[in-house]
Structure 1
Amino acid sequence: MITSLHLGNFKAFAKTQNIPVKPLTLIFGANSAGKSSIIHSLAMAHEAMRTGELDLFRTDIGGSSIDLGGFKQYIHRREITRRLEWGLTLGTGRFTGRLREIMEPMADITMTLTMGMPLDPKTDEPEPGAAPHVMTYELESDGQTLLRMSRRPGNQMALDLLPYKHPVLQRIISALLEGFTTTGAVSGEDLKSLEQPMAEIIAGLRSPMGTLFPKGIKDEGRDEDQSGSQLNLFPVSRGNRQEDLAKALRFFLPRTLDELIQELNTVMGSEINRLQYLGPLRSYPARHLAFAEHDDINWYAGGGYAWDVVRRNKEVRDKVNAWLSDAKRLSTPYELVIKNLLTIEDLEADYEHLVSGVETAMIDDDWSDFETAVGETVSGDHFGELYGILGRLKKSEEKFAAFQELILYDRRTETQVSHRDVGIGVSQVLPVLVSAFAAREKIIAIEQPEIHLHPALQAELGDIFIESALAGNNNNTFLLETHSEHLILRILRRIRETSENELEEGATPIKPDQVAVLYVQPGKKGSAILHIPVNEEGEFERPWPQGFFAERARELF
């Protein structure tokens, strides 16, 4: 659903940047230009939504790869009187239910937050001991403001702006009055007469803050008896029409706005929660994966979890093995296989031996030999419990997943090795492959997916990302911070082949509007993001800053 991000006063960025997001979004630029800041802003929002904290250092999703350093560090130029701006634009095409009805026929909806320190009005400096908060919340649809709220004391947001003539609001008001009152059709004159009542309604609307978004809309001035009424149709008389319409609007509009905000917040939150992050340096997990520490802060950001996915998921393991052995890809002699540390057969032998010993003891009514064998005094109750445990284990091989180890089998020497005994390239690419093969409906942000890979393999990753985003039912969105010329060249090639109907067998078709190529360019007033469109010939439609990977030309010529 996300079609763009909005980011201002965050790290390298000063002026708010509108960042298009496509199924494949590639972020290029010089070192320290601000490429990773785009991804880090998503990690910040993900953590803030989870905890309500904005003075963030480490994030749960980023492990040790993302250290924001607190608000005073990540605000642009460390000027703490600035306000960070962060937002998302969603296409409305996949909205469902009531939200779809309300937003029709709008093509998109943008939510923008500003975050900052409360300032002392006398000094324009942060109040002593102040912490950063969400200061404003704004919804915009098709380029027009739909509503705007700002912070008030007591962790409340007040509604400052609700443009009466916005098409969505006009539709909402007409639908409410025609559907829930006895008025029948609502005329343009009726709507015009409600402009002043609307202003009065706005003045009384408040919203308590959640962790990152306002929780909804409440009308502080609403009469309690009226708020509890269960009316089927609100009566509108001929002689008192305008007053009755105003009363109906006060009754129904706050509820509808509350419903709109809560539904949108649910959708926005779901989109943010789709984020999956893989840092620039993938770590080796423990030698024995079956007993790895899953609470390691880098379990996800460092890619350790990926080895466990391969251990548990045969479908993913088969795809990774195909990549490892393919002559056009890694072309290694290794194959990932499962080694059972404890098998059903092992348990069955012990189980039969145990049963035989129990039966003999019961027949002879003599438990002494059995007690000597097991080293303790036993009773019939012990055996009943033991029978149950062993029986359940025998019937469920899934119980043995904890006793399975992932190993690399070297087909050349017919020996097994640990993942810690092979080259660094395998360890760095495997989490990238697992992210693409195993994830479903995720926003997958990867810093430097090409690290430690041969140029030819960097190009092959292009096909992996295209397939994961656009083929089958994975439907992932990729944000790739990269320096790889070979990766983008493969994607451009596939675009050209798709338009010319010359795709090689097995390749996934891709169109220009499914790719966003971004270049982050540093400047004295902050970094700027340049969007470089691609055409059907697989060519850039605007000049690449300083030439497309001009370093190659300089070295060659």
Structure 2
Amino acid sequence: MKIGFKNLRSLVNTGNLSIKPMTILLGQNSSGKSTFLRTFPLLKQSIETRTTGPILWYGRFVDFGDFSNALNESENSKNDFIEYSFELDFNKENINRYYRKKPVFENIERNLDNCLVAIQLKGDKENKTYTSKMQIVFNDFDIEIVIGKNKELESIFIDGIKIKSDNLTMVNLNNGFLPTLFLLKDDENHFALSSERFSLRKIFKEISSISNRKLSDETILKILNQLNFNSNKELFDSIIKQDIVKGFANKVKDWEIENDKYINLKNHLITSAIPSLISLCDSKITSIANSTSYIAPLRATAERYYRPQDLNVDEVDFQGKNLALVLRNFSQSERNEFEKWCLNNFSFFPRAKILGGNISVTVNFKNNSGEHNIADLGFGFSQILPVIVQIWTGSLRKKNKRYRRYSGIKIYAIEQPELHLHPKIQALIVDALISVINFVRNEELSVYFILETHSETIVNAIGTRIYKKKIDKNDVNVIIFERENNKPKSQVYEVKYSDDGTLKNWPYGFFEEEWQF
């Protein structure tokens, strides 16, 4: 999975950056690393709330202000848009599970391993956000959809060629991130929800016209089932080499790939699949957003007692305020599993119990029979416990196993996991994350830890674990953010670990104090 941005605050053009199971964001203050990380909870709050636009800039997780606040503030920039781009990987089993058989799209998904989706956002006169352009690239087919200021469809380009779109429109349904393309019925001005059916009629007419005879729907479907959308060349070859209908075969056998008739037929075919492609990509982006667990940089401070509530809470919130309720709601078997995992990874475990009508959170240490109220311990414990509990409930809790298999992905966006922690505990966090990454490989789950940090200890600990082969170097990516002097623009680039755990292309003196005279 890759993600990139243009003109989002200081992120003028990041390119598409790899999100690995362990992704580390490094940079000085106000360099853009928090902006990058917070786009994940930004997507989550946008998806889970009914909105009038694709993005909810201000919500329960993060506050980007509004579109004008989020737009890069460079005076010399003529860009008036913000762009998100995703390189999405698809699991064919999931595609087959959620999409009914559709003649063209079914052939496309056979060879659909990944897809690039780019969405440009603009603000209208009232500063409300709308989607102004959408690009979908799969294999070597390029679809570009342009939407005007009135939020109506302006044009569609397929491989750079503008197609007729007089009877097409874009609408937002089900609070999705991407607007959906629909066809209007030719005889009535209302939406045709089963838009593929209407587009297929044009394909059927086109194939019959090429064949100079009326063909049955069954025969045309046989032709469509032979098409190969693995590339533009392979699609062309599968058309001119088909042998189901002699009349059609005789007409197309001498076509060239630049032939207008081939391009016209290809455009009809791709257009018919656009609604399903958009729906598939939107479902994937929605899954990424819904699977994100965000942990803010400053978690709730410890309290001696917490008021009990009859709430079925099983996930720690982004500030850790409901930590006591989550711990209290563990079943006995879950408590045993959680405490065992904590002892193995951190040599301590938290526990919640009722005391005097209130909930008390205590910390128990290995080889120590005593227990200590969290309020009597260092501030660092109140900061790390929400992280530990969030990771265990999201990735290891058996109760959530079915959901994890359903979504296939879990993302943790964590700001400053090292906050108020001794370097030894920071290194233990790295070990715990690596153990989770290795464990879930057998659970049909892809887990991603995105850490925004200033900790040299964490960076060095990861390198040491790579050298000791506890984690593969290809499972780690380090993204560096460097703000240009006196400019609202950041340079963003990736740094890789080598086999011996050292960082290649590491900026000299990155963690050193910079003296100016």
Within the alignment, does 1:217 sit opposite 2:215 as a pair? no
Within the alignment, does 1:208 sit opposite 2:207 as a pair? no
Indicate the residue corresponding to 2:353 in structure 1.
338
Assess, with a 3 A threshold, how the Cα gap between structure 1 residues 468 and 428 changes in structure 2: closer, same or farther. Answer: same
Assess, with a 3 A threshold, how the Cα gap between structure 1 residues 223 and 55 changes in structure 2: closer, same or farther. Answer: closer
Assess, with a 3 A threshold, how the Cα gap between structure 1 residues 295 and 13 changes in structure 2: closer, same or farther. Answer: farther
Q: Which has the larger radius of gyration?
A: 1
Distance 2:185 2:338 in 1: 61
What does 1:56-455 align with in structure 2 at a 5 Å threshold? 56-60=56-60, 62=61, 66-77=62-73, 82-93=80-91, 95-97=94-96, 101-118=107-124, 127=125, 129-141=126-138, 144=140, 146-152=142-148, 155-163=151-159, 200-202=163-165, 204-210=167-173, 211=175, 213-220=177-184, 222=186, 227=198, 236=208, 238-240=211-213, 254-284=271-301, 288-289=305-306, 291=308, 300-313=317-330, 314=332, 317-318=335-336, 321-322=339-340, 329=346, 336=351, 338-339=353-354, 405-408=359-362, 418-440=373-395, 441-455=409-423
The answer to whether the 8 Å contact 1:9/1:16 transfers is: no
Distance 2:199 2:141 in 1: 31
Indicate the residue corresponding to 1:177 in structure 2.
none
The answer to whether the 8 Å contact 1:205/1:254 transfers is: no
Distance 1:11 1:232 in 2: 44
The answer to whether the 8 Å contact 1:54/1:71 transfers is: no
Indicate the residue corresponding to 2:433 in structure 1.
465
Indicate the residue corresponding to 2:256 in structure 1.
none
1:272-300 alpha-carbon deviations (Å, 9 max, x no partner): 2111100001104765545259799x971
Distance 1:413 1:463 in 2: 23
- Which one of 441, 445, 450 corresponds to residue 479 of structure 1? 450
| Structure 1 residue 480 displacement after superposition | 0.4
1:100-152 alpha-carbon deviations (Å, 9 max, x no partner): 7524435421111111124xxxxxxxx4x34222111111235x562111213
Structure 1 residues without counterparts, runs of 5 or longer: 119-126, 165-197, 342-402, 499-508
Distance 2:307 2:114 in 1: 46
Indicate the residue corresponding to 1:51 in structure 2.
50
Assess, with a 3 A threshold, how the Cα gap between structure 1 residues 483 and 248 changes in structure 2: closer, same or farther. Answer: closer
Within the alignment, does 1:21 sit opposite 2:14 as a pair? no
Indicate the residue corresponding to 2:501 in structure 1.
538
Assess, with a 3 A threshold, how the Cα gap between structure 1 residues 404 and 442 changes in structure 2: closer, same or farther. Answer: farther
Distance 1:221 1:232 in 2: 16
Indicate the residue corresponding to 2:461 in structure 1.
490
The answer to whether the 8 Å contact 2:88/2:284 transfers is: no
Q: Secondary structure at the match of 2:180?
A: coil
Distance 1:291 1:427 in 2: 18
Q: Secondary structure at the match of 1:149?
A: strand
The answer to whether the 8 Å contact 1:447/1:482 transfers is: yes
Distance 1:317 1:551 in 2: 45
Q: Secondary structure at the match of 1:456?
A: helix
Distance 1:55 1:216 in 2: 16
Q: Secondary structure at the match of 2:498?
A: coil
Task: Specify which structure has the higher proportion of helix.
Answer: 1
Q: Count matched residues.
A: 428
Indicate the residue corresponding to 2:474 in structure 1.
513
| Structure 1 residue 410 displacement after superposition | 6.5
Assess, with a 3 A threshold, how the Cα gap between structure 1 residues 81 and 16 changes in structure 2: closer, same or farther. Answer: same
Assess, with a 3 A threshold, how the Cα gap between structure 1 residues 219 and 246 changes in structure 2: closer, same or farther. Answer: farther
Distance 1:17 1:248 in 2: 34
Counterpart residue identity of residue 58, structure 1: Y
Counterpart residue identity of residue 69, structure 1: G
1:307-352 alpha-carbon deviations (Å, 9 max, x no partner): 33222225664466457667x84x56x75253488xxxxxxxxxxx
TM norm structure 1: 0.66
| Structure 1 residue 10 displacement after superposition | 1.0
The answer to whether the 8 Å contact 2:7/2:79 transfers is: no
| Percentage of identical aligned residues | 20
Structure 2 residues without counterparts, runs of 5 or longer: 100-104, 214-247, 253-260, 396-408
Indicate the residue corresponding to 1:353 in structure 2.
none
Assess, with a 3 A threshold, how the Cα gap between structure 1 residues 59 and 276 changes in structure 2: closer, same or farther. Answer: same
What RMSD, in angstroms, separates the aligned Cα atoms of the two structures? 4.1
Counterpart residue identity of residue 76, structure 1: N
Assess, with a 3 A threshold, how the Cα gap between structure 1 residues 536 and 446 changes in structure 2: closer, same or farther. Answer: same
- Which one of 1, 7, 30 corresponds to residue 9 of structure 1? 7
Q: Secondary structure at the match of 1:483?
A: coil
Distance 1:16 1:137 in 2: 18
Q: Secondary structure at the match of 2:420?
A: coil
Q: Secondary structure at the match of 1:491?
A: helix
Q: Secondary structure at the match of 2:117?
A: strand
The answer to whether the 8 Å contact 1:117/1:130 transfers is: yes
Q: Secondary structure at the match of 1:17?
A: coil
Assess, with a 3 A threshold, how the Cα gap between structure 1 residues 83 and 251 changes in structure 2: closer, same or farther. Answer: closer
Counterpart residue identity of residue 71, structure 1: F
Counterpart residue identity of residue 443, structure 1: I
Indicate the residue corresponding to 2:228 in structure 1.
none
| Structure 1 residue 91 displacement after superposition | 1.7
